[in-house]
């Protein structure tokens, strides 16, 4: 829906995914864990299946399905699930915006179903299939955003072009992740980009439908177009800071949970941080550390 609520709700959805990703990947990095490429087999039975249902998948299904419903039947009394107008002689297509949005949301819901089936129902998790499903959802979003700009005003186009730019970067990252699923730089780039998409959609809703001055932004004012880009750049900084905050929160929580062996935990964090892309294997790092400590002891003895 090209309305205020139609931009706020996907914005909130992307923000919630961003937060989920931020905590998930912070945990993985701080613990030095990796996504297992071959998952262990699972206990069969409905109970185990239900317990294994992933939050992320359910969120995608719920958000996606609700959004599809809203496009067709919201506000109540409306019924837009029709492709063409049968009353006119040449059956022209109607509701093009709604059908584009529905297509977009449906792919995200589909990706959710793939997550749930792969993680809960199948004998083994098919991680690659989940990655492909979410990558396709973002590709579809990019494709539709690219072809969404017909007959719109420049401010709206500028806002959407920046959204498309972020979405395209997400597609790139997800494509590379098919071959490098365990690269922390890609994890956090993805997280940050999804968060930027979220907060930018929230901001866009206000710019396009509820400007703070009460008057719509003039499309022919160059200052307006330049400030759209400017605000977008501030969103980048904002989301990087948010991501950092989430990371530190996770680190605090982890070290609080493992207080007795707190020192080792801190040491592990430092290791996992210093070179997040895992280029330095643990063994080598430990050797380095041992040499350092020895030097340290000698220095303490020396004077």
Give me the residues that bind a second copy (CB under 8 A), please. Answer: 37-41, 84, 90-94, 96-97, 99-100, 103, 107, 110, 123-128, 132, 136, 140, 143-144, 147-148, 150-151, 158, 165, 178-179, 185, 213, 215, 218, 221-230, 232-234, 236-237, 240, 270, 273-277, 279-280, 285, 288, 292
- Give the orientation angle of helix 222-257 with respect to helix 154-179, to 10 degrees: 40
Distance (Å) of CA 58 to CA 50, 115, 150, 231: 11, 8, 34, 32
Cis status of the peptide bond prior to 117, with omega within 30 of 0: no
State the DSSP code for 276: T
State which residue, 16 or 209, has the beta carbon closest to a second copy.
Answer: 209
CB-nearer residue toward a second copy: 76 or 89 = 89
Between residues 41 and 261, which has the closer beta carbon with respect to a second copy?
A: 41
Q: Which is nearer to a second copy, 12 or 80 (CB)?
A: 80
Residue 217 and residue 155 in contact, taking contact as beta carbons nearer than 8 Å: yes
Read off the DSSP letter of residue 122: S
CB of 89 to a second copy, least distance (A): 8
CB closer to a second copy out of 53 and 117: 117
Q: What is the gyration radius of the CA atoms in the chain, in angstroms?
A: 24
Residue placing its CB nearer to a second copy in the complex, 32 or 41: 41
CB of 256 to a second copy, least distance (A): 20
Residue 270 Cβ vs a second copy, minimum distance, rounded to whole Å: 6
Q: Least distance (Å) from a second copy to the CB of residue 85? A: 10
> Minimum distance between the CB of residue 130 and a second copy, rounded to whole angstroms?
12
Find, among 55, 30, 33, the residue nearest to 256 by Cα: 30
- Least Å distance, CB 245 to a second copy, is 15
Rounded to whole angstroms, how far apart are CA atoms 216 and 232?
19
Q: What DSSP string runs through 44-67? A: -SHHHHHHT--HHHHHHHHHHHHH
């Amino acid at each position: 829906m090209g309305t205020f609520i139609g931009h706020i709700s996907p914005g909130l959805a992307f923000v919630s995914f961003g937060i989920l990703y931020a905590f998930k990947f912070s945990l993985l990095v701080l613990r030095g864990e990796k996504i297992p490429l071959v998952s262990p087999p699972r206990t069969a039975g409905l109970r185990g299946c239900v317990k294994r249902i992933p939050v992320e998948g359910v969120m995608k299904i719920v958000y996606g399905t609700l959004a599809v419903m809203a496009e067709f039947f919201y506000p109540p009394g409306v019924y837009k699930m029709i492709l063409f107008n049968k009353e006119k002689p040449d059956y022209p297509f109607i509701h093009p915006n709604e059908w584009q949005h529905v297509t977009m949301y449906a792919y995200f819901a589909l990706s959710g179903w793939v997550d749930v089936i792969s993680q809960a129902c199948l004998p083994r998790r098919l991680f690659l299939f989940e990655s492909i499903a979410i990558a396709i959802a973002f590709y579809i979003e990019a494709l539709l955003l690219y072809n969404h700009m017909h007959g719109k005003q420049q401010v709206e186009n500028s806002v959407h072009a920046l959204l498309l730019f972020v979405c395209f970067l997400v597609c790139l990252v997800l494509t590379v992740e098919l071959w490098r699923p365990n690269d922390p730089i890609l994890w956090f780039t993805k997280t940050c980009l999804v968060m930027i998409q979220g907060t930018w959609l929230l901001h866009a809703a206000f710019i396009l439908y509820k400007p703070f001055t009460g008057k719509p932004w003039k499309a022919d004012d160059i200052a307006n177009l330049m400030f759209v880009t400017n605000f977008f750049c501030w969103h980048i900084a904002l989301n990087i800071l948010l991501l950092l905050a989430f990371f530190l929160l996770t680190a605090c929580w982890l070290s609080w949970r493992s207080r007795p062996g707190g020192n080792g935990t801190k040491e592990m964090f430092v290791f996992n941080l210093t070179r997040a892309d895992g280029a330095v294997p643990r063994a080598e790092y430990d050797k380095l550390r041992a040499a350092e400590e020895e030097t340290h002891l000698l220095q303490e003895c020396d004077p």
